[in-house]
Amino acid sequence: MYAAMGVLGLAPTETTAPVPPTGGGPSPAPFVPPQRSDFTLRGGSAAKVLVLGAGVAGLACAYELGKAGYDCTVLEARDRVGGRSMTLRGGDVVSELAEVPGSGAHTSAPVPPLTAGTPSPGARGETQRVTFGEGTYFNAGPARIAQWMVTLDYCRELGVPLEVFVNGNAAAYVLTGGMRAPARVRTARADAYGYISELLAKATDAGALDTRLTGADKERLLDFLSHFGDIGASHAYSGGERRGYRVDPGVGTGAELGPPPPLTDVLSARLGRVLTMDAGYEQAMPMFQPVGGMDAIVRALAARVGAARIRTGTRVTKIMNRPDGVEVTVEGGASLRADYCVAALPPHLLAKIPGNLGADVQSALATPVPLSAGKLGLEYGRRWWEIEDRIYGGATETDLDIGHIWYPSYGFHGERGLVVGYYNTSQDAEAYDRLRHRERLRRALVQGAKIHGRAYAKGILAAVSVAWRRQPHIEGAWVRWPSMSGFSLLQRPAGRVYFAGDWLTHLIAWQAGAFESARKVVTELHHRVLKES
């Protein structure tokens, strides 16, 4: 097997020391951070750089350039660093824009009716004060890191301790496709795999694959299916221990859940998306999170950059290329000059800032469409999902408008715990965007009760919701490129202004994208400085 890989030089052979055979390989040109000695060797000196935006991309640029002594100043419109990498704790304050940008409540499609949680057309921007207890945190933005992502390298370099983020849990629930009641993921999976295996085994037995498979391959396929679907030699799926137990085994044998529902019911549940959620390269288990909150990364970056170099509460109002540098004006009228600029703002905000970057650049910046996503953090005074449901981390998957319910991957067995009551995108998020916090909460609790019952709404100590489209100076969860022409243009600087962000990569919505983009810009800017000096 996998002989072709050997031919391509990708796989180890017995006679040579293997290289990591497949996947997760580094880029062919590994990143080399700028360093002070680059100037000793090649002449010149580090330049002055204005970095616009103290999100992951901006901070990473300032951090990497700083290694070579660049004089960076980071301008951030918000009153905190990190951008979308926002971890909320007790004492934090979250303000929202009065209107969803570009789609006033009156012009949007109405929120689908539900018993609780009606739309509030006249909603005004509101401010939530977070009242979580000591130790509780809520990653309102990015929350998980794949093993192959460069984000983990930054965690290593910055000394940010890691722990596992549980991205899928056999004990969590599924409620999709009009299922009358939630089932455990393990149960739904066992049933789907079981019937798939039964159908294919019987088709094989009936000769339907005779033109495709040799006799030996048929035997191997049937052996695979007997394991894969737990269907044994009968080739008929009849349930089994993988479905779970009504009474767990112990001194006694336990009592299994019993026979599976009919095939037609399993097919109707539309489990394909849910059961393959963690099959993709970005979502495969295990995933990771910084201990204590995702913002440990941006806080470590900001500390390395230095507080004195970061100006929060400083909104950029104009960006001008000048013959000998860049000039950036900020709210209040002051202007700052530097040799170069890295614009690491969301493109839809950058597009609105006046300047002389050129019509094609402005047009390219206006191309990406900001998308919506929302999250609700629910702090409970009792970890009932662990005690009663035996769910330790992971997610319940639904096709309700809440999308997922996440159980915390930290603080196991603690007194309190933070459940993500919804993490939704697209139209579902847009519906919640238009609601005030209290209405989002009520709606999410009605939905969550379909999985966890009425007790779901009880014992909540604190709650906070974030609608990313309504976050000032961010105005979106991430973007979509309707066409890719501007994507290439913005990979190049507009004069002395470079662009950086996850939106300029194929890792949109991931911190890894911001880091990869920052590394590219830093490399190019540094090479230019070395060359021009």
**Taking a C-beta distance cutoff of 8 angstroms, is the pair 422, 375 a contact?**
yes
Question: Is residue 190 within the footprint of a second copy (CB under 8 A)?
Answer: yes
Q: Is 79 or 217 the residue whose CB approaches a second copy more closely?
A: 217
Q: Is 287 or 466 the residue whose CB approaches a second copy more closely?
A: 287
Residues of span 451-480 touching a second copy by CB under 8 A: 451-455
Residues contacting residue 256 through CB under 8 Å, at least 6 positions apart: 239, 240, 241, 243, 244, 245, 246
Question: Is residue 189 within the footprint of a second copy (CB under 8 A)?
Answer: yes
Q: Which residue has the tokens 């910055």?
A: 158
Q: Is 79 or 415 the residue whose CB approaches a second copy more closely?
A: 415
Window contacting a second copy (CB under 8 A); options: 35-43, 181-189, 329-337, 427-435? 181-189
Question: Is residue 41 within the footprint of a second copy (CB under 8 A)?
Answer: no
Question: Is residue 23 within the footprint of a second copy (CB under 8 A)?
Answer: yes
Residues contacting residue 407 through CB under 8 Å, at least 6 positions apart: 166, 169, 172, 385, 386, 391, 392, 393, 394, 395, 396, 417, 419
Q: Is 347 or 374 the residue whose CB approaches a second copy more closely?
A: 347
∠ CA 520-524-525 to the nearest 5 degrees? 115
What does each C-alpha distance from 119 to 75, 262, 391 come to in angstroms? 36, 40, 33
To a second copy, the closest distance from the beta carbon of 243 in angstroms equals 7
Tell which one of 48, 67, 80, 202 touches a second copy (CB under 8 A).
202
Question: Is residue 170 within the footprint of a second copy (CB under 8 A)?
Answer: yes
Residue 97: CB atoms within 10 A of its CB come to 18
Tell which one of 12, 112, 232, 459 touches a second copy (CB under 8 A).
12
Q: Which residues pair with 55 in a beta bridge?
A: 82
Q: Is 147 or 426 the residue whose CB approaches a second copy more closely?
A: 147
Tell which one of 37, 233, 506, 531 touches a second copy (CB under 8 A).
506
Tell which one of 133, 389, 460, 528 touches a second copy (CB under 8 A).
389
Question: Is residue 18 within the footprint of a second copy (CB under 8 A)?
Answer: yes
To a second copy, the closest distance from the beta carbon of 477 in angstroms equals 19
Q: For 526, what's the count of Cα atoms within 13 Å in the CB-facing half-sphere?
A: 27
Q: Rounded CA gap, 425 and 418, in Å? A: 20
Taking phi first (over 0 means left), then psi (-120 to 50 degrees means alpha), and beta for anything else, what does residue 56 get?
A: alpha
Question: Is residue 200 within the footprint of a second copy (CB under 8 A)?
Answer: yes
Q: Is 318 or 520 the residue whose CB approaches a second copy more closely?
A: 520
∠ CA 370-375-381 to the nearest 5 degrees? 170
Q: Is 321 or 517 the residue whose CB approaches a second copy more closely?
A: 517
3-class SS of residue 440: helix
Q: Rounded CA gap, 355 and 366, in Å? A: 14
One-letter amino acid of 142 = P
Question: Is residue 270 within the footprint of a second copy (CB under 8 A)?
Answer: yes
Terminus-to-terminus CA distance in the chain, angstroms?
54
CA-derived radius of gyration, the chain: 26
To a second copy, the closest distance from the beta carbon of 385 in angstroms equals 10
Question: Is residue 400 within the footprint of a second copy (CB under 8 A)?
Answer: no
- Nearest Cα neighbor of 455 from 419, 409, 424 is 419
Question: Is residue 513 within the footprint of a second copy (CB under 8 A)?
Answer: yes
Q: Is the omega angle on the peptide bond into residue 408 within 30 degrees of 0, that is, cis?
A: no
Question: Is residue 290 within the footprint of a second copy (CB under 8 A)?
Answer: no
Window contacting a second copy (CB under 8 A); options: 4-12, 49-57, 361-369, 466-474? 4-12
To a second copy, the closest distance from the beta carbon of 80 in angstroms equals 26
Residues of span 246-265 touching a second copy by CB under 8 A: 246-254, 257-259, 261, 263-265
Tell which one of 114, 236, 267, 461 touches a second copy (CB under 8 A).
267
Residues contacting residue 152 through CB under 8 Å, at least 6 positions apart: 145, 162, 288
Write the interaction track for a second copy spanning residues 104-133; mark x where CB under 8 A is met and - where it is not.
------------------------------
Window contacting a second copy (CB under 8 A); options: 45-53, 184-192, 421-429, 433-441? 184-192
∠ CA 51-55-59 to the nearest 5 degrees? 55
3-class SS of residue 393: coil
Window contacting a second copy (CB under 8 A); options: 43-51, 112-120, 148-156, 293-301? 148-156
DSSP string, 352-364: TS-BSS-HHHHHH
Quote the tokens at residue 356: 């002389």
- In the 8-state DSSP scheme, what is residue 528? H
Tell which one of 90, 126, 196, 528 touches a second copy (CB under 8 A).
196
Q: Is 130 or 155 the residue whose CB approaches a second copy more closely?
A: 155
Write the interaction track for a second copy spanning residues 207-246; mark x where CB under 8 A is met and - where it is not.
-xx--xxx--x--xx-xxxxxx-x----------xxxxxx
To a second copy, the closest distance from the beta carbon of 224 in angstroms equals 4
